[in-house]
């Protein structure tokens, strides 16, 4: 009977790479069973079959089926196809893995070496492979390069990473308990009040994140601007003009500002003092996932979840190391020289890589953060098998340039602070010069120096005052969060993980709690949910409780606590919270129901009625025909019969704008994500007539 080693990978692409790397000839046989692929390789006298998951094949669910109530504290792990209708493909997938497990003599977990990957491999070995999690061995690697995969297989860990698995199981089970109970409490309360079903959700990470957004929005709305004045002067030094600021940047009274400005209405000043300093800027530290997401948003405006997906693609194609890391360390074992020599094969990086190779001993500038499973993100140096698209090129280039920069020398800069005396009033300007470019030459275009060229200066030198400007200003409210700043806030407060924070932010958009990207604005529904959490279960909205749970799960991993203890404590808190929510279900429902109705009305409203001038134009679906159209709300009062046809396919969105030609509302029609189009509601719009 055919015997072999069965390796479980996390995704089919990873399975293919693992099989190819382990095969003696670098060639594998791809086989299919019921459209489920697996790969056969020959390694010495061993036959290897590499099968894969499709991410999580098992999930947490309640033990009672069909019951939609709360509180729920009894749960079990089940195949996803039983729990989720959209996961029917997984049923066949698990059958094929179970069949392959029957004749296997050795089992190896080769899923990603992190919490999620460890749970994926563990659950497949336990449930689909009939309890082989106890005897299976573990591959640990940080890149999918041929060399590292071969080394990983040659040095298998003797057993699974059970401490990491226990911590991961606790995290999933606690998140499920919080999510299912709190989400059902909110959803059922709203449904009982409004008689409309709208999925509402919250959880131990989502709640505090929503609170940050609510607090910031409240601070913005109650902010009262305070006037202040500042004075600037344009000063000519040897026929070169420079902008100087008055020493006191914010003058609190107009009288004081006017008096100072008046005394500066002279044509001549003199240089009072020149302060020259040299300083160094150390190289940046290597990327962890959060820093990569932050930098990608800064330069490309990619959301955290977009960056994660792109980085995962680059990893699976063996172009970068494992991205879901919190490390800022690059150990010598990754082979700095080897990576740089590989990068020399690319015309884009050849010159920069060669400069580092001749530099001598390579030592990266590292940060303080450590991840026991993986190093910081770095390029493998391997060339792409196929062309990358624009976003993939951007993220790859950013990672390569960052890797090169961490080995660069410090930048040497000079600052020149010049103070000018204008009738006994001091004005200041600071200019910078780069004396030694150092690591900056490796990180272009993601860093640049704004050097100021100054003429010859000396104290007492006469200068010409071209003009002095008094400006009225007002203090500004705090900035709204954007994906970058919110991610940093979550990381600073230690809520969520490097792998889950981006998903939490995305969920806030999905639930309609949040809108806008560069300026995140909490919606009225988001305010309603945040208010309910604050009034009835403040601990759920508190980052303190979430941080404590995170610490406890870390203690599980370090064998300082047990999964059962942590779960017992979490359930104790949840019992109190759900009891309070049940007692106040009616009041909560009224609050949320009103917000949901308003949200739905806002989403259906496209503008004001041009005909009656008092009604709103809303999207209506005919009960008789099922077709949608736009009508005036005054139709229901029998005072206006304005109506407009709509395309029956695609999504309709209000643009909150009017046609520049006829003044009617304009909507966006999305039949295809690639080709949205704007439509003026007026069928007699002159623009349409011209097109005809």
Active site residues: 322
Three-class DSSP labels, 71-92? CCCCEEEEEHHHHCHHHCHHHH
- Give, for 652, the enclosing helix (H) or strand (E): strand 651-658
CB atoms within 10 A of CB 560: 10
> Beta strand 514-515 with 240-246: parallel, antiparallel or unpaired?
unpaired
d(CA 542, CA 525): 19
d(CA 202, CA 183): 6
Strand boundaries in 80-211, DSSP class E = 104-109, 137-138
What 3-state DSSP class applies to 627?
Answer: coil
Written as six digits, the tokens of 649 are 């396919």
Residue pair 202/183 in contact by the 8 Å Cβ criterion: yes
d(CA 344, CA 357): 10
Question: Which contacts (CB < 8 Å, 24+ apart) does range 681-687 have?
Answer: 681/606, 681/607, 681/617, 681/630, 681/644, 682/610, 682/644, 683/644, 683/645, 685/659, 685/661, 686/661, 686/662, 687/659, 687/661, 687/662
> What is the sign of the dihedral through the CA atoms of 321, 165, 169 and 86?
positive
Q: Is the peptide bond before 156 cis (omega within 30 degrees of 0)?
A: no
d(CA 68, CA 79): 20
Distance of CA 172 to the CA centre of its chain: 20
Residue pair 395/310 in contact by the 8 Å Cβ criterion: yes
Q: Which residue has the tokens 């047990």?
A: 562
Question: CB-based contacts of 501: which residues, under 8 Å, 6+ apart?
Answer: 205, 290, 304, 487, 490, 491
d(CA 115, CA 160): 12
Closest of 160, 153, 157, 172 to residue 129, by C-alpha? 160
> What is the sign of the dihedral through the CA atoms of 252, 258, 260 and 265?
positive
Residue pair 396/314 in contact by the 8 Å Cβ criterion: yes
β-sheet bridge partners, residue 41:
48
Q: How far is CA 276 from CA 131, 237, 430, 458, 462, in A?
A: 71, 18, 10, 11, 19
Question: CB-based contacts of 326: which residues, under 8 Å, 6+ apart?
Answer: 288, 289, 290, 369, 370, 371, 498
Three-class DSSP labels, 522-545? ECHHHHHHHHHHHHHCCCCCCHHH
């Amino acid at each position: 009977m055919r015997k072999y080693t069965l390796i479980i990978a996390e995704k089919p692409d990873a399975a293919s790479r693992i099989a190819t790397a382990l095969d003696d000839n670098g060639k594998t046989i791809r086989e299919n069973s019921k459209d489920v692929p697996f790969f056969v390789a020959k390694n010495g006298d061993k036959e290897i079959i590499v099968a894969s998951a499709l991410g999580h094949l098992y999930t947490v669910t309640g033990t009672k089926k069909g019951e939609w109530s709360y509180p729920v504290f009894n749960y079990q792990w089940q195949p996803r196809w039983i729990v989720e209708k959209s996961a029917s493909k997984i049923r066949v997938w698990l059958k094929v893995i179970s069949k392959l497990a029957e004749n296997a003599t050795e089992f190896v977990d080769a899923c990603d070496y992190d919490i999620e990957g460890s749970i994926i491999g563990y659950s497949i070995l336990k449930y689909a492979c009939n309890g082989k999690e106890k005897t299976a061995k573990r591959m640990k690697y940080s890149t999918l390069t041929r060399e590292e995969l071969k080394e990983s297989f040659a040095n298998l860990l003797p057993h699974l990473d059970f401490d990491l698995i226990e911590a991961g199981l606790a995290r999933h089970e606690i998140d499920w308990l919080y999510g299912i109970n709190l989400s059902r409490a909110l959803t059922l309360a709203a449904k009982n009040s409004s008689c409309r079903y709208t999925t509402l959700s919250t959880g131990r990470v989502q709640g505090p994140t929503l609170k940050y957004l609510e607090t910031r929005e409240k601070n913005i709305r109650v902010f009262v601007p305070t006037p202040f004045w500042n004075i600037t002067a344009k000063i000519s030094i040897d026929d070169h003009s420079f902008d100087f600021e008055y020493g006191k940047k914010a003058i609190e009274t107009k009288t004081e500002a006017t008096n100072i400005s008046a005394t500066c209405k002279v044509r001549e000043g003199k240089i009072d003092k020149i302060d020259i300093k040299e300083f160094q800027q150390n190289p940046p530290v290597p990327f962890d996932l959060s820093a990569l997401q932050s930098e990608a948003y800064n330069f490309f405006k990619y959301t955290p979840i977009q960056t994660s997906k792109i980085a995962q693609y680059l990893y699976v194609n063996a172009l970068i190391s494992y991205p879901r890391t919190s490390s800022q360390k690059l150990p010598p074992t990754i082979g700095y020289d080897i990576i740089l020599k590989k990068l020399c094969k690319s015309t884009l990086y050849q010159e920069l890589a060669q400069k580092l190779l001749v530099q001598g001993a390579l030592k990266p500038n590292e940060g303080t953060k450590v991840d026991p499973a993986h190093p910081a993100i770095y390029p493998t140096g391997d060339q792409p098998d196929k062309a990358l698209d624009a976003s993939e090129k951007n993220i790859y280039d950013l990672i390569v340039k960052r890797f090169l920069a961490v080995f660069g020398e410090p930048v040497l800069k000079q600052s020149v602070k010049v103070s000018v005396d204008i009738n006994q009033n001091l004005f200041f300007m600071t200019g910078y010069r780069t004396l030694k470019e150092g690591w900056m030459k490796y990180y272009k275009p993601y860093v640049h120096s704004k050097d100021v060229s100054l003429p010859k200066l000396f104290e007492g030198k006469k200068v010409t005052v071209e003009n002095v400007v008094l400006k009225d200003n007002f203090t500004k409210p705090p900035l709204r969060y954007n994906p970058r700043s919110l991610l940093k806030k979550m990381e600073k407060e230690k809520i969520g993980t490097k792998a889950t924070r981006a998903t939490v932010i995305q969920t806030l958009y999905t639930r309609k709690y949040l809108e806008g990207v560069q300026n995140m604005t909490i919606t009225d529904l988001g305010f309603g949910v945040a208010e309910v959490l604050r009034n009835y279960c403040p601990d759920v909205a508190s980052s303190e409780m979430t941080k404590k749970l995170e610490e406890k799960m870390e203690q599980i991993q370090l064998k300082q606590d047990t999964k059962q203890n942590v779960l017992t404590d979490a359930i104790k808190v949840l019992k109190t919270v759900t009891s309070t929510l049940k007692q106040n279900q009616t009041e909560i429902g009224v609050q949320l129901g009103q917000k949901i109705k308003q949200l739905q009305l806002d989403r259906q409203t496209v503008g004001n009625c041009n005909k009656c001038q008092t009604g709103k134009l809303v999207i209506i679906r005919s009960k008789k025909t099922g077709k949608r159209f736009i009508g005036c709300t005054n139709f229901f009062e029998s005072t206006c019969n304005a109506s407009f046809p709509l395309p029956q396919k695609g999504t309709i969105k209000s643009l909150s704008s009017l046609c520049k030609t006829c003044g009617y509302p304009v909507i966006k029609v999305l039949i295809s994500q690639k080709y949205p189009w704007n439509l003026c509601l007026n069928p007699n719009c002159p623009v349409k007539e011209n097109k005809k």
